[in-house]
Structure 1
Amino acid sequence: MCPSFSPAVGRHREVKHCLGHRMRPLFGLAAVVAAASLYLYLLSSFLPAGPPRPAPLAPGTGHELEQPEEVSRLKFPADLDELRELAELLQFYKSEHTGYVLLLFSSAYLYKQSFAIPGSSFLNILAGAIFGLYQGLFLACVLTTVGSTTCFLLSQTFGKQYIESFFPEKVSMLQRKVEENQDCLFFFLLFLRFFPMTPNWFLNMSAPIVNIPITFFFCSVFIGLLPYNFICVQTGVMLSEVSSLDDLVSWERLLQLLAIACMALLPGALIRHLSQRHFKLDDQSQNQLITDKKVQ
């Protein structure tokens, strides 16, 4: 004979089952973040000894003071001073440990992009300072695209219900705009990258929810963020070469800045011209979607 249950017990089990169903994706995402963080920590722990620094002189003797060997610590840069210091350190390592620096930089970049952590623009600048313009630009474009696609897949697997719960109005608005622009969806996605009506991190996470094909998403990220990545990487190249204000205001630097401005404005102007003819974007939609600046 089957035991009988009261309605209260049944409701309690239903609530418990629903709560467990909602918490499983959160635990899964936490496990992925923990595993990625552990990997990045272990990778950075193999950092070799840093470049030798001049030892201070003992007062009155002129002899150098003995100092214990310092082990350099890596961290994500928070300002330009930290960025320049990190660039100098990694440039030193790159001459002897090129593969290690490439693996460490790529892992840190993918970590930030995959988990939608702000500050990737600093890593784009760092790419230019360490690897130069062409290699740095290629690396930044590839890592941006792969990291954003990983964020897309993580959101699709673990975060759909949470994003819909936390940002219902934004998701609904983006869903409507995607449906209205189905006939030119790829160019609409390019428009969103050139003129972000919503931050890139939100677009990466909400794309699977509004049924954007992953192939369109992948290609639009690579092409749409190319001018932005170029600006950041070229800035890193200039910062690594500038040693004084005189270098910054030279004719060569001014011409480089002019080329950067043209590179950034030309594709954006073409996409804006296309949007005025084909995209369905009303003023109310733009006001509701615009929340803050592009965050990489």
Structure 2
Amino acid sequence: MRSVVGLIAVVAAASLYVYSLSLYLPPAPRRPRPPADAEHADTAEPPQPPDSTGETSRYTEATTRNTCYRLKFPSDLEELRELAELLQFYKTEHTGYVLLLFCSAYLYKQSFAIPGSSFLNILAGAIFGPYQGLLLACVLTTVGSTMCYILSQVFGKRYIVNLFPHKVSMLQRKVEENQDCLFFFLLFLRFFPMTPNWFLNMSAPIVNIPITYFFCSVFIGLLPYNFICVQTGVMLSEVSSLDDLFSWERLLQLLAIACVALLPGALIRRFSRRRLKLDGQSQNGLITDKKVQ
């Protein structure tokens, strides 16, 4: 009972923090104003900024969203695009706030195993670009998964075993069978998720996976997945029409992304056939034996 109360307190405190951070937005970035002409300094009408650059419309849109738009986790691509445009505009003068908000939201989702981190990976590419976005996605995925590991270790061991007894026992047996190459076994599970990542994060301390192995395997194993999501976000932020999406440049870029993402998985699969003990098949998101007892 004490563990349940502690977990509820942690979730409530984290939820209140993220909600407060998203609710109290800083002022919208200021609209750039051209220098006033000395001859017209005393005239009744102040000089108006040119509309050719689109700054006036962007400023008006962002100011309107600042007053009526409440930040929330995106649930589809349209909401993702709107949120990316808003945060990109805020990033011009409030980089620290946007970075803090994004990191807090990402860690919140990962720590409590809430689905939807792929949207945040795409958002990272749209806001921060291909290199900073990828670094952020990898670091936040690793830190958030490790926080989920710690929360499960402190609060949830007994409940996870009671809720998923068969899955935990099967994962425990596979971990014991691959103790001599445990790190590569964990990499295999990340590249080819026979068990969902959220379940692996929560059950890792129960099946005695060292936190150092867990930390490194998450960072390396989810790198291809994060890379694909971030690059998708970069392309979404740059593409304005379907013609841009299906151009030769974009198609070659997609091909290069696929090759880079598939290469580590191919190497791990080749190694697993020689070293790992994977005499099972995937069924309902978990490794099961081919033989029926």
TM-score (norm 2): 0.84
Question: In 2, distance between residues paired with 1:26 and 1:119?
Answer: 24
Conserved 8 A contact 2:88-2:127: yes
User: Residue type of the partner of 1:122?
Assistant: F
Partner of 2:16: 38
Quick one: structure 1 residues 68 and 154, their matched pair in 2 at CA, closer, same or farther if it must change by over 3 Å?
closer
Question: In 2, distance between residues paired with 1:97 and 1:72?
Answer: 17
User: Residue type of the partner of 2:175?
Assistant: V
- What is the CA-CA distance between 1:269 and the residue it aligns to? 0.6
Conserved 8 A contact 2:122-2:233: yes
Which structure has more relative contact order (CA 8 Å, sep 6+)? It is 1
| Count of residue correspondences | 256
Provide, for residues 9-38 of structure 1, a one-character-per-residue CA deviation record: whole Å limited to 9, x for no partner: xxxxxxxxxxxxxx1111100000000011
1:89 matches 2:108: no
The counterpart of 1:194, out of the listed 174, 191, 195, is 191
Question: In 2, distance between residues paired with 1:121 and 1:149?
Answer: 18
The counterpart of 1:207, out of the listed 197, 204, 214, is 204
Question: In 2, distance between residues paired with 1:44 and 1:265?
Answer: 36
Question: In 2, distance between residues paired with 1:191 and 1:244?
Answer: 38
Partner of 1:103: 100
Partner of 1:283: 280
Partner of 2:138: 141
Unpaired segments ≥5 residues, structure 1: 1-22, 55-66, 292-296
Q: Report the aligned-residue RMSD.
A: 1.6
How do residues 54-203 of structure 1 correspond to structure 2 at under 5 angstroms?
70-203=67-200
- What is the CA-CA distance between 1:71 and the residue it aligns to? 3.5
Provide, for residues 40-61 of structure 1, a one-character-per-residue CA deviation record: whole Å limited to 9, x for no partner: 111112213556446xxxxxxx
Question: In 1, distance between residues paired with 2:197 and 2:13?
Answer: 24
- What is the CA-CA distance between 1:263 and the residue it aligns to? 1.2
How do residues 241-280 of structure 1 correspond to structure 2 at under 5 angstroms?
241-280=238-277
Structure 1 residue runs of 4 or more that deviate by more than 2 Å after TM superposition: 48-54, 67-72, 286-291
| Identity level (%) | 80
Partner of 1:47: 25
Question: In 1, distance between residues paired with 2:59 and 2:263?
Answer: 45
User: Residue type of the partner of 1:170?
Assistant: K
Provide, for residues 84-103 of structure 1, a one-character-per-residue CA deviation record: whole Å limited to 9, x for no partner: 00000000000010000000
- What is the CA-CA distance between 1:282 and the residue it aligns to? 1.3
Query: Which range is displaced more, 274-283 or 27-36?
Result: 274-283
